[in-house]
């Protein structure tokens, strides 16, 4: 158990770097001469990516006034960063869904849960008119990625983790700590570091179970609440059946409007269904 963190670091060294389109996009964004047309053109060269991006931005959580049919319009309405981050989210799902996992941990259910968290987190970002909404959907998609890293590298032990969580009726995170000595939020943070994700995204991944990073971070609180909400609303399956008590600090920080969930359940469910269908191509 002593070397487990080192092994995780080594294993993450092996994780592929982010898909080319994302790094090219990031470089283009940094370049002072970049303009909307360049970026829209770049994304349009990847047919399936642009198709999926348009599906995502047209789902009700983004509540755009009219249907968006082109990447350049999407960039115009939502900004470069939002579009780039949606592409990143889609690439990560692609990257990891090719690998096979055991029956108790189906990638489709895992991604449904993460998409559910992404949708709710993004909708909270909308509702609260946060400063950097572009990181919200991405953080939801990424929050549990450490589970896949742990599972891939410690497959045998991870079966024990799943078993332990069933027997003790506890969340996977507690079973991971017990059996592996490291949990998926720590593993995810290591990956976020390697991929140079924005600091607030890294924090949200690292503290999504605590619900607070200690410095009143809205995004961390939003992912924490959305994770709990996605479980209760049966958006996918997180790998265990249990729902932890939300951190009261997170509720306090977010100050969601009264009856937020009963009022938005229709929008959330429709967005979840549409996004799952377009991203995972399943029913």
Partner 1 sequence: MPTIIHLEEIVPGMVLGEPILNRYGQTLLTPGVVIEEKHLLMFKTWGIKHITIEGSTPRADAGEVSEDLKNLARKHIQKRLLWQDLNPMEEDLFNASVERVIDIYSSSDLENDDD
Which one of Fe ion, partner 1, none interacts with residue 229, CB within 5 to 8 A by kind? partner 1
According to CB under 8 A, which residues from 58 to 77 bind partner 1? Answer: none
Query: What span, in angstroms and rounded, lies between the C-alpha atoms of 52 and 58?
Result: 10
Closer to Fe ion by Cβ: residue 22 or 110: 110
Cα separation of the two ends of the chain: 40
Which one of Fe ion, partner 1, none interacts with residue 144, CB within 5 to 8 A by kind? Fe ion
Query: What span, in angstroms and rounded, lies between the C-alpha atoms of 8 and 198?
Result: 21
Tokens in use for 266?
A: 């229709």
Residue (of 155, 153, 124) closest to 137 by Cα position:
124
Closer to partner 1 by Cβ: residue 116 or 125: 116
Residues 6+ apart with CB under 8 A from 167: none
Which one of partner 1, Fe ion, none interacts with residue 69, CB within 5 to 8 A by kind? none
Residue among 48, 65, 129, 262 that touches partner 1 (CB under 8 A): 262
Residue count at the site for partner 1 (CB under 8 A)? 25
The answer to the question of residue 238 lying near Fe ion (CB under 5 A) is: yes
Query: What span, in angstroms and rounded, lies between the C-alpha atoms of 98 and 119?
Result: 23
The answer to the question of residue 176 lying near Fe ion (CB under 5 A) is: no
According to CB under 8 A, which residues from 165 to 204 bind partner 1? Answer: 171
Residue among 134, 183, 227, 240 that touches Fe ion (CB under 5 A): 227
Sign for the CA dihedral angle at 198, 236, 124, 62 comes to: positive
Residue (of 242, 263, 251, 200) closest to 224 by Cα position:
251
The answer to the question of residue 144 lying near Fe ion (CB under 5 A) is: yes
Are the C-beta atoms of 225 and 254 separated by less than 8 Å?
yes
Closer to partner 1 by Cβ: residue 9 or 251: 251
Tell me the window of 148-156, 196-204, 208-216, 262-270 that interacts with partner 1 (CB under 8 A). 262-270
- Min separation Cβ 170 and partner 1, Å: 8
Residue (of 148, 225, 147, 228) closest to 183 by Cα position:
147
The answer to the question of residue 229 lying near partner 1 (CB under 8 A) is: yes
The answer to the question of residue 244 lying near partner 1 (CB under 8 A) is: yes
Tokens in use for 45?
A: 């060269």
The answer to the question of residue 163 lying near partner 1 (CB under 8 A) is: no
For 255: left if phi > 0, alpha if psi spans -120 to 50, otherwise beta; the answer is left
- Min separation Cβ 24 and Fe ion, Å: 30
- Min separation Cβ 265 and partner 1, Å: 4
Length of the chain: 283
For 244: left if phi > 0, alpha if psi spans -120 to 50, otherwise beta; the answer is beta
Tell me the window of 97-105, 160-168, 193-201, 234-242 that interacts with partner 1 (CB under 8 A). 234-242
According to CB under 8 A, which residues from 30 to 59 bind partner 1? Answer: none
Residues lying near partner 1 in the complex (CB under 8 A) are found at 171, 228-229, 231-234, 241-246, 248, 251, 256, 258-262, 264-265, 269, 283
């Amino acid at each position: 158990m002593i070397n487990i963190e080192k092994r995780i670091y080594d294993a993450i060294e092996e994780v592929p770097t982010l898909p080319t389109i994302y790094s090219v996009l990031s470089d283009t964004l940094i370049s002072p001469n970049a303009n909307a047309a360049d970026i829209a053109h770049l994304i349009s060269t990847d047919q399936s990516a642009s198709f999926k991006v348009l599906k995502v931005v047209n789902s009700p959580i983004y509540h755009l006034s009219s249907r968006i049919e082109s990447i350049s319009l999407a960039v115009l309405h939502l900004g470069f960063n939002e579009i780039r981050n949606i592409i990143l989210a889609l690439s990560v799902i692609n990257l990891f869904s090719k690998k096979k996992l055991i029956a108790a941990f189906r990638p489709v259910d895992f991604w449904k849960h993460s998409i559910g968290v992404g949708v709710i987190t993004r909708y909270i970002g909308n509702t609260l008119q946060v400063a950097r909404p572009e990181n919200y959907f991405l953080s939801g998609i990424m929050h549990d990625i450490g589970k896949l890293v742990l599972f891939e590298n410690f497959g045998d032990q991870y079966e024990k983790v799943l078993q332990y969580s069933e027997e003790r009726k506890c969340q996977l995170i507690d079973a991971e700590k017990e059996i592996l000595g490291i949990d998926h939020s720590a593993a995810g943070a290591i990956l976020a570091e390697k991929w140079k994700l924005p600091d607030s995204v890294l924090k949200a991944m690292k503290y999504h179970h605590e619900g607070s990073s200690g410095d009143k971070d809205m995004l961390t609180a939003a992912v924490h609440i959305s994770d709990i909400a996605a479980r209760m609303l049966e958006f996918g399956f997180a790998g265990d059946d249990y729902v932890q008590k939300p951190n009261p600090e997170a509720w306090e920080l977010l100050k969601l409007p009264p009856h937020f969930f009963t009022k938005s359940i229709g929008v959330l469910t429709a967005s979840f269904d549409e996004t799952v269908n377009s991203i995972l191509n399943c029913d």
